[in-house]
Amino acid sequence: MGYPDRPGWLRYIQRTPYSDGVLYGSPTIENVGKPTIIEITAYNRRTFETARHNLIINIMSAEDFPLPYQAEFFIKNMNVEEMLASEVLGDFLGAVKNVWQPERLNAINITSALDRGGRVPLPINDMKEGVYVMVGADVPFSSCLREVENPQNQLRCSQEMEPVITCDKKFRTQFNIDWCKISLVDKTKQVSTYQEVIRGEGILPDGGEYKPPSDTLKSRDYYSDFLITLAVPSAVALVLFLILAYIMCCRREGVIQLVHHSAIQKSTKELREMSKNREIAWPLSTLPVFHPVTGEIIPPLHTDSFDNTSMPLMQTQQILPHQTQIPQQQTAGEFRMTTFQRFEVNGIPEERKLTEAMNL
């Protein structure tokens, strides 16, 4: 009550929304004499009816009932909420009492294996999480419990084998105990390791309070830092830009190549101008594909089956006796005659356009 969470020593577990919730834990010496009020609030999921209950826990000191001999057992076939049931915990304490034979025996602490770093078991074969149960007694440990400390059993545990314990049959019927994880603590032989804290520089005295620095601190000028942070990279970038511009514009190795390319373009243009003034016959490929008079399609010069591999580079022409003349009217005072003369080149007929001009 009055806090956002439970006390650090108190745990709560509830497997399903329809199962019982369990509060369990072991308080420490600092909690002795302080009543702990647990505020429990519940509501009905169907009607949303709310109920509240206060649970008062009175913690008393156990120094009047010392239990210097403590043994911790790991039970593999139990969950913590199953072990907290009064009848199950009573059966376990009864089995330990038969082995130990103490006058007073009490359970000191019960902890789930998951709180000790254990892994969540697979949901097969009804596997359990495991639970650690620490019990205390007022008499030394029995010889049966001491068998775990034998060198032979320690060797078997290091080899992940089950140790040989004579009193294991008294637990086996209901509790599967991992004897390799049993811990025996004798507080009568423990030497106190408490050392008084020597206060020195850096440790506040009791009741000391932290005093934050005053508001009168001098303000720091970040203008110079800003200039250094901005000016240095900008200067470096400017220098690199100037170097790159000098290399690209002032020391270009491609100027000669550009002049050479311009000379080639000029020469090419001159050759094209000169080729236009040549008075030679047009190539055969530029002749029309239709007959100029009849309009009939002229057959191809060569058939697909013609073998031109033996054709000479310089072809001879033979004049054929077939000629067609088309008169054309030109400008005044001049009459132009166009003649289509058929030739035979290497046995293949061809036509060539001949033009004659006559002055009238």
Rounded to an integer, the average pLDDT of 219-226 is: 84
Query: Looking at the whole model, is its pTM more than 0.85?
Result: no
The closest alpha carbon to 291, from 357, 349, 204, 205, belongs to 349
- How high is the pLDDT of residue 60? 85
What is the average pLDDT value for the chain, to the nearest integer?
A: 76
Rounded to an integer, the average pLDDT of 10-22 is: 87
Is the pLDDT reported for residue 286 higher than 60?
no
Asked if residues 69 and 137 have their Cβ atoms less than 8 Å apart, the reply is yes
Contacts 24+ apart (CB under 8 A), 168-175: 170/95, 170/98, 170/99, 171/95, 174/91, 174/92, 174/95, 175/75, 175/77, 175/78, 175/92, 175/95
Highest mean pLDDT among 62-76, 244-258, 314-328, 338-352: 62-76
Q: Please indicate whether residue 358 or residue 233 has the higher confidence score (pLDDT).
A: 233
Chain segment 17-40, per-residue pLDDT in tens? 888 888 888 888 888 888 889 999
Q: Please indicate whether residue 216 or residue 147 has the higher confidence score (pLDDT).
A: 147
Lowest mean per-residue pLDDT among 137-146, 290-299, 333-342: 333-342
Rounded to an integer, the average pLDDT of 327-354 is: 48
- How high is the pLDDT of residue 316? 45
Is the pLDDT reported for residue 296 higher than 70?
no
Chain segment 114-146, per-residue pLDDT in tens? 888 888 887 777 788 899 999 999 888 888 888
Confidence tier at 235 by pLDDT (50, 70, 90): very high
Rounded to an integer, the average pLDDT of 169-192 is: 84
- How high is the pLDDT of residue 38? 92
Q: Please indicate whether residue 217 or residue 221 has the higher confidence score (pLDDT).
A: 221
137 Cβ contact partners less than 8 Å away, ≥ 6 residues apart: 67, 69, 70, 71, 100, 102, 103, 104, 105
Q: To 10 degrees, the CA torsion angle through 354, 355, 356, 359?
A: 170
SS3 annotation, 164-218: CCHHHHHHHCCCCECHHHCEEEECCCCCCCCCCCCCCCCCCCCCCCCCCCCCCCC
Asked if residues 104 and 138 have their Cβ atoms less than 8 Å apart, the reply is yes
Cα–chain-centroid distance for residue 80? 37
Cα–chain-centroid distance for residue 359? 95
Rounded to an integer, the average pLDDT of 179-186 is: 89
Is the pLDDT reported for residue 315 higher than 50?
no
Is the pLDDT reported for residue 61 higher than 90?
no
56 Cβ contact partners less than 8 Å away, ≥ 6 residues apart: 35, 36, 37, 38
Rounded to an integer, the average pLDDT of 50-63 is: 88
Percent of the chain with pLDDT over 70: 69
What CA–CA distances, in Å, run from 226 to 89, 218, 219, 239, 337?
Answer: 71, 19, 16, 20, 92
- How high is the pLDDT of residue 301? 52
Rounded to an integer, the average pLDDT of 171-179 is: 89
